[in-house]
A and B are shown apart, each in its own frame.
Chain A
């Protein structure tokens, strides 16, 4: 059809130059709309309560508080986010803003991504509220802020976990156009929580070592949604150049990380490691050589008992999953300060399936002595079945402390409350010092 050109009517507005508007600008405006709404205020209040409840954890440093804030962020906050993102994904349909937005000349992928970014931006703010209120709760309960950077470590891991759960629920709800689709992610979350022992470590979303896999999976889901959401809306408009590489690249990277986890994580019977199995086979009766190990420490290297020849060793086993046992870190730090110059060497062995646990607690407790991670920890009914080191030290009650003499022979074993309360530990060390002053 031929088009004719005529002079515009006088009321015709001036035509303004067009240039693509960035996804960030679009998302920024949607974020502004979102955070002013009553539902975001409710989300912020829920986040604050969750954070506050985690903040009052005991300990000289913030370690346990930071750890619990992270646990809260994915256990409870995770469910909130599933609901939140599923709701936001289809809110447009219910509120009928979609008819305005989708009739505009913006490619679908830009709309999808900017809206996700705005929704996730609100989640990040709410997540920040969890941690800010955890700090506030800690201060309110009279705790200090030693090792406050541990909160940041946990926040970063939480962001990854929440990104996955947010992306999964958002994309499911958007593709199927119902918030109930997001409930499928909620179901997975419930199964992951309730059936932890049946899941390979590599498939458990909250472990820091798995976060990258899940972040790439989330990116892949977003890519798929950008690619296929409202496919017919596109007409003959080409798909943006970044969508396919984002989707396929993320899928490949997710696969690589999962595969790497599956083949490297000590997770019997799927994958075992002869060195860890040998460590587990050691025993620790009084009078015998304390079980040795070579495990990753928090500075990126490996530590073993052989690194401390001629010192009285105070070996403490603990687990972040047993909150009370983490108190031993403060006791070991006391020992280090008081007796370190006299040849006493504390070493903490962290029994956790999460690779970042030792680092978070070492940093959050402000300890100067070596903290190593028993990376062979896996799902089992009790610590001695779950952890090679707990097995070697026969540590079914945590914390579990072993005091050796200067020849590394086990001299005293303290279990549970006896390890951190009363004078048992102090007396054991003084006895060793008296017997072997140098």
Chain B
């Protein structure tokens, strides 16, 4: 008999959520025309917030689409809680919440109706149970006050919060959020990050982003994806450690900048009075004013993105 849901249906007192891992083995995606989206990606993602960091076009959305059962890989496997995302799509969808990077809502439906529809898609057949769940979600994403307003009139941040609420409708064990803060103003970005941070716990949250601040704010673990390959995966602290002893700050005259930039990987720049403070990641910087600095995640990210970097660390 087909399993209807991995999430146990139980009374509130005895409610328990299954903890799962996401396991990705040798995942490859090749598009028509030979464009490679992913190359032999191997990852094990435990519960917690896992950030997938990479520039635009790195393959993050491809990986998200495969994990959310919307796309099949060319080779390799991915398992969510033991369920194959290619063969056991329905089982995966039962435990999945997905907030895509680029998604649409029916503009003429209110926030409540939008979530009501999503509740139906999740087979929450009892209208009272659905209503209760929606009220709870609206409160969680701070949209209760605008529950009867049409989503077509919402700001980008409000739309993202509706998107997050719909992804949480089934209390997912795996929540995938693809570039949730892209295009948001700073206040909304912070609000969304806070929401994600609160959602941690026993579920797997995969946060795809190209913003270092997102990772710094919420992630427990991180993988860096570049041109379809994983260049690093580990904890945030471990990523920072990649460049310990290699980060330098140098106070220079403007005329010296060009020479230094030519030979070193620049990761930051700050103007101080008449001089410029420039930050590099390098084994050694040949300048008398160079002094070692505390590594940041951004330093590590840019170091990992170097063209000559190969393979996961």
Do A and B pair up? The answer is yes
The answer, yes or no, to whether A7 is at the interface (CB within 8 Å) is yes
The answer, yes or no, to whether B109 is at the interface (CB within 8 Å) is yes
Would B70 and A18 count as touching, CB distance under 8 A? Answer: no
Q: How would residues 83 to 117 of chain B score, 1 for a CB under 8 Å from any chain A CB and 0 otherwise? A: 00011111001101010101111111100010011
Would A236 and B120 count as touching, CB distance under 8 A? Answer: no
Most chain B beta carbons < 10 A, residue from A5, A15, A106: A15
Given A5-B19, A105-B93, CB of A14 within 8 Å of CB of B133: yes
User: Chain B: interface secondary structure?
Assistant: loop
Would B201 and A12 count as touching, CB distance under 8 A? Answer: yes
Would B90 and A105 count as touching, CB distance under 8 A? Answer: yes
Q: A231 → chain B, closest Cβ, in Å?
A: 11
Q: How would residues 18 to 54 of chain A score, 1 for a CB under 8 Å from any chain B CB and 0 otherwise? A: 1111000110011011101100000000000000000
Chain B residues positioned under 8 Å from A1 (CB to CB): 20-21, 23, 79, 81-82
Given A17-B129, A37-B108, A104-B122, CB of A237 within 8 Å of CB of B90: yes
Chain B residues positioned under 8 Å from A95 (CB to CB): 104
Would B103 and A14 count as touching, CB distance under 8 A? Answer: no
Would A17 and B126 count as touching, CB distance under 8 A? Answer: yes
The answer, yes or no, to whether B261 is at the interface (CB within 8 Å) is no
Given A14-B136, A15-B171, CB of A96 within 8 Å of CB of B104: yes
Would A20 and B86 count as touching, CB distance under 8 A? Answer: no
Would A14 and B20 count as touching, CB distance under 8 A? Answer: no
Complex Cα distance, B168 from A5, in Å, reads: 19
Chain A residues positioned under 8 Å from B290 (CB to CB): none
Would A234 and B89 count as touching, CB distance under 8 A? Answer: yes
Would B19 and A18 count as touching, CB distance under 8 A? Answer: no
Interface residue ranges of A57-98 to B (CB < 8 Å):
92, 95-97
Chain B residues positioned under 8 Å from A36 (CB to CB): 108-109, 150
Q: A256 → chain B, closest Cβ, in Å?
A: 35
Task: Write the chain B residue with the least CB distance to A40.
Answer: B108
Given A29-B116, A29-B117, A232-B72, CB of A18 within 8 Å of CB of B23: no
How many residues in B have their beta carbons less than 8 Å from beta carbons of A?
Answer: 71
Given A18-B9, A237-B89, CB of A5 within 8 Å of CB of B16: yes
The answer, yes or no, to whether B12 is at the interface (CB within 8 Å) is yes
Task: Write the chain A residue with the least CB distance to B122.
Answer: A104
Task: Write the chain B residue with the least CB distance to A101.
Answer: B121
Complex Cα distance, B101 from A103, in Å, reads: 13
The answer, yes or no, to whether A260 is at the interface (CB within 8 Å) is no
Most chain A beta carbons < 10 A, residue from B15, B87, B90, B98: B90
Would B137 and A13 count as touching, CB distance under 8 A? Answer: yes
Chain A residues positioned under 8 Å from B122 (CB to CB): 18, 104-105
Q: B26 → chain A, closest Cβ, in Å?
A: 17
Would A12 and B17 count as touching, CB distance under 8 A? Answer: yes
Would A12 and B120 count as touching, CB distance under 8 A? Answer: no
Complex Cα distance, B87 from A36, in Å, reads: 38
The answer, yes or no, to whether A11 is at the interface (CB within 8 Å) is yes
Chain A residues positioned under 8 Å from B185 (CB to CB): none
Given A21-B120, A100-B100, A235-B69, CB of A15 within 8 Å of CB of B8: yes
Would A13 and B140 count as touching, CB distance under 8 A? Answer: yes
Q: B109 → chain A, closest Cβ, in Å?
A: 5
Task: Write the chain B residue with the least CB distance to A102.
Answer: B70
The answer, yes or no, to whether B125 is at the interface (CB within 8 Å) is yes
Complex Cα distance, B130 from A14, in Å, reads: 11
Q: A154 → chain B, closest Cβ, in Å?
A: 31
Would A3 and B19 count as touching, CB distance under 8 A? Answer: yes
Would A8 and B129 count as touching, CB distance under 8 A? Answer: no
Complex Cα distance, B140 from A233, in Å, reads: 31
The answer, yes or no, to whether B282 is at the interface (CB within 8 Å) is no
The answer, yes or no, to whether A99 is at the interface (CB within 8 Å) is yes
Most chain A beta carbons < 10 A, residue from B87, B104, B108: B104
The answer, yes or no, to whether A307 is at the interface (CB within 8 Å) is no
Complex Cα distance, B118 from A36, in Å, reads: 18
Chain B residues positioned under 8 Å from A34 (CB to CB): 108
The answer, yes or no, to whether A194 is at the interface (CB within 8 Å) is no
How large, as a class, is the contact surface on chain A? Answer: 35 or more
Complex Cα distance, B117 from A34, in Å, reads: 13
Q: B171 → chain A, closest Cβ, in Å?
A: 5
Q: B232 → chain A, closest Cβ, in Å?
A: 24
Chain A residues positioned under 8 Å from B5 (CB to CB): 18
Complex Cα distance, B9 from A238, in Å, reads: 23
Chain A residues positioned under 8 Å from B72 (CB to CB): 232
Complex Cα distance, B93 from A235, in Å, reads: 11
Would B100 and A8 count as touching, CB distance under 8 A? Answer: no
Would B100 and A15 count as touching, CB distance under 8 A? Answer: no
Chain A residues positioned under 8 Å from B136 (CB to CB): 13-14
Given A8-B202, A14-B15, A29-B113, CB of A103 within 8 Å of CB of B4: no
Most chain B beta carbons < 10 A, residue from A9, A13, A96, A233: A13
Would A12 and B171 count as touching, CB distance under 8 A? Answer: yes
Would B16 and A6 count as touching, CB distance under 8 A? Answer: yes
The answer, yes or no, to whether A16 is at the interface (CB within 8 Å) is yes
The answer, yes or no, to whether A4 is at the interface (CB within 8 Å) is yes
Would A16 and B130 count as touching, CB distance under 8 A? Answer: yes
The answer, yes or no, to whether B132 is at the interface (CB within 8 Å) is yes
Chain A residues positioned under 8 Å from B16 (CB to CB): 5-8
Q: B188 → chain A, closest Cβ, in Å?
A: 20
Given A11-B199, A105-B123, A234-B89, CB of A96 within 8 Å of CB of B102: yes
Q: How would residues 9 to 32 of chain B score, 1 for a CB under 8 Å from any chain A CB and 0 otherwise? A: 110100111111101000000000
Given A1-B21, A104-B118, CB of A21 within 8 Å of CB of B124: yes
Partner of B19, one of A4, A16, A237: A4
Chain A residues positioned under 8 Å from B109 (CB to CB): 29, 32-33, 36
Chain B residues positioned under 8 Å from A97 (CB to CB): 103-106
Chain B residues positioned under 8 Å from A234 (CB to CB): 89
Chain B residues positioned under 8 Å from A96 (CB to CB): 100, 102-104
Would B100 and A235 count as touching, CB distance under 8 A? Answer: no
Chain A residues positioned under 8 Å from B116 (CB to CB): 29
Interface residue ranges of B176-226 to A (CB < 8 Å):
198-203
**Besides A21-B125, A32-B113, A238-B2, 14 other A-B contacts (C-beta < 8 A):** A1-B23, A13-B137, A18-B125, A29-B109, A95-B104, A99-B70, A99-B102, A103-B68, A103-B96, A104-B121, A233-B89, A235-B86, A235-B89, A236-B88
- For this complex, 25 residue pairs linking A to B, each with C-beta atoms less than 8 Å apart, are A1-B21, A3-B19, A3-B20, A3-B82, A7-B16, A9-B202, A14-B171, A15-B7, A16-B133, A17-B9, A18-B122, A20-B125, A26-B117, A29-B116, A29-B120, A32-B109, A33-B109, A96-B104, A99-B70, A100-B100, A101-B121, A102-B70, A103-B93, A103-B98, A105-B123
Chain A residues within 8 Å of B, Cβ to Cβ:
1, 3-9, 11-21, 25-26, 29-30, 32-34, 36-37, 92, 95-97, 99-107, 232-238
User: Lowest 9 A-B CB distances belong to which pairs?
Assistant: A9-B201, A235-B89, A36-B108, A19-B125, A95-B104, A104-B121, A33-B106, A105-B93, A96-B104
